[in-house]
C-alpha cells in the first residue's frame, strides 16, 4: 500500500466495529457534499431516499423512483474514496417481486454503491435479502419507523412503545440478522428497546432517533447543517445554521451586484 493511499471502508470493517468503536454515518446526495463528508473520515455515506424530501421537496419518501436514486448514487460515488457507500432502495423498487428487487439492487451497485439498504422485515423482504446476500450484494436492514410505510404507521411516530410492537421489532431484528444483513438501522424507537436489540444482535445497529446505545448513529446531512429551520425533530442536533449563513451570503452578493460593486476590475479579465 502506498504511503498516501486511502484505506477503503468495507462491510467487514463495519461489522468489526461492533462493541469496539462507534460507527459514524451521514446522508449525501451529490458529488460535492459526498467529497466533503468523505474527507472528514466518517464510516458510511448513505444515499438516502430522504432525497425525496430535502432535494426534491416531496412530503414523504414515497414519490422518488429508481431512476432518480441512481442519479444521486452515481454522483455521490464519484466523490467518495474512503467511506462505505450505501444506497437506499426506494419504494416499489423491491416490493413487487424477488426478481425486480434483485435487478434493482444490481443497478445500484453498477452505479457505484457498495451496499443497499432495504426497509422492513416481512417474509418477502427476508427472502429478497437472503437472495441478494447469496449473490454477493451486502444489505443494510432498517426497522422501527420505516418512512416508506408512513401511512401504515399514521405519521412519523415513535414505534415500539407497547409490548406487541416491541416483540415484533426484536423478532424482526433477529430475522434480518439471520437473513444476512451486515448492519441494521433503528429509527425512532425507545432507547431501552434500541439498547436491548443492540445487545441481542451480533451485527451493528445504527440509530436515528433511537438513543445513545446503538453501535452507531446516522443523520440526514441537511438536518445536521440546519438547512431547513422549519424542521427540528427532537432527535436532531444542529451543528450549523446554513440556512442563515447561505441566505446572508446571497443577500450580500445581491447587494454588491445591485450597487455595481461586483465584479470589480480585479475580478475581470
pLDDT in tens, 50-61: 999 999 999 999
| Residue 9 pLDDT exceeds 60 | yes
Which pLDDT band holds residue 2 (cuts at 50, 70, 90)? Answer: very low
Q: Which of 114, 166, 177, 187 is catalytic?
A: 187
Which pLDDT band holds residue 4 (cuts at 50, 70, 90)? Answer: low
Catalytic residue flag (residue 74):
no
Which pLDDT band holds residue 1 (cuts at 50, 70, 90)? Answer: very low
Which pLDDT band holds residue 5 (cuts at 50, 70, 90)? Answer: confident
- For CATH 3.20.20.60, list the domain ranges present in the chain: 11-238
What is the dotted CATH code of the domain comprising 11-238? Answer: 3.20.20.60
Mean of the per-residue pLDDT values of the chain: 97
What is d(CA 30, CA 158) in angstroms, rounded to the nearest whole number?
30
Torsion of CA 225, 209, 57, 232, to 10 degrees: -60
Q: For the segment 202-213, what is each residue's pLDDT rounded down to a tens digit?
A: 999 999 999 999
> Quick one: three-class SS letters along 122-164?
CHHHHHHHHHHHHCCCCEEEEEECCHHHHHHHCCCCCCCCCHH
Distance of CA 257 to the CA centre of its chain: 39
| Residue 134 pLDDT exceeds 70 | yes
Question: Whole-prediction pTM value?
Answer: 0.96
Mean pLDDT of 180-208: 98
Mean pLDDT of 119-126: 98
Amino acid at each position: 500500500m502506498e504511503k498516501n493511499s486511502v484505506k477503503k471502508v468495507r462491510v467487514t470493517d463495519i461489522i468489526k466495529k461492533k462493541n469496539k468503536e462507534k460507527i459514524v454515518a451521514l446522508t449525501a446526495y451529490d458529488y460535492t457534499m459526498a467529497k466533503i463528508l468523505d474527507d472528514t473520515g466518517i464510516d458510511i455515506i448513505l444515499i438516502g431516499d430522504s432525497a425525496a424530501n430535502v432535494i426534491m421537496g416531496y412530503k414523504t419518501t414515497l414519490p422518488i423512483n429508481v431512476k432518480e436514486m441512481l442519479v444521486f448514487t452515481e454522483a455521490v460515488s464519484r466523490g467518495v474514496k474512503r467511506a462505505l457507500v450505501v444506497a437506499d432502495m426506494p419504494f416499489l423498487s423491491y416490493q413487487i417481486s424477488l426478481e425486480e428487487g434483485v435487478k434493482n439492487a444490481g443497478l445500484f451497485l453498477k452505479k457505484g454503491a457498495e451496499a443497499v439498504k432495504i426497509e422492513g422485515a416481512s417474509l418477502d423482504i427476508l427472502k429478497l435479502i437472503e437472495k441478494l446476500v447469496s449473490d454477493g450484494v451486502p444489505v443494510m436492514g432498517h426497522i422501527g419507523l420505516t418512512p416508506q410505510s408512513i401511512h401504515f404507521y399514521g405519521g412519523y411516530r415513535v414505534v415500539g412503545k407497547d409490548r406487541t410492537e416491541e416483540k415484533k421489532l426484536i423478532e424482526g431484528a433477529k430475522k434480518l440478522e439471520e437473513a444476512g444483513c451486515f448492519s441494521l438501522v433503528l429509527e425512532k424507537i425507545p432507547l431501552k428497546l434500541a439498547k436491548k436489540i443492540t445487545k441481542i444482535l451480533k451485527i451493528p445497529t445504527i440509530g436515528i432517533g433511537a438513543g445513545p446505545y446503538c453501535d452507531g448513529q446516522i443523520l440526514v446531512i441537511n438536518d445536521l447543517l440546519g438547512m431547513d429551520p422549519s424542521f427540528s425533530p427532537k432527535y436532531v442536533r444542529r451543528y450549523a445554521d446554513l440556512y442563515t449563513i447561505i441566505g446572508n451570503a446571497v443577500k450580500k452578493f445581491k447587494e454588491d451586484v445591485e450597487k455595481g460593486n461586483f465584479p470589480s476590475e480585479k475580478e475581470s479579465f
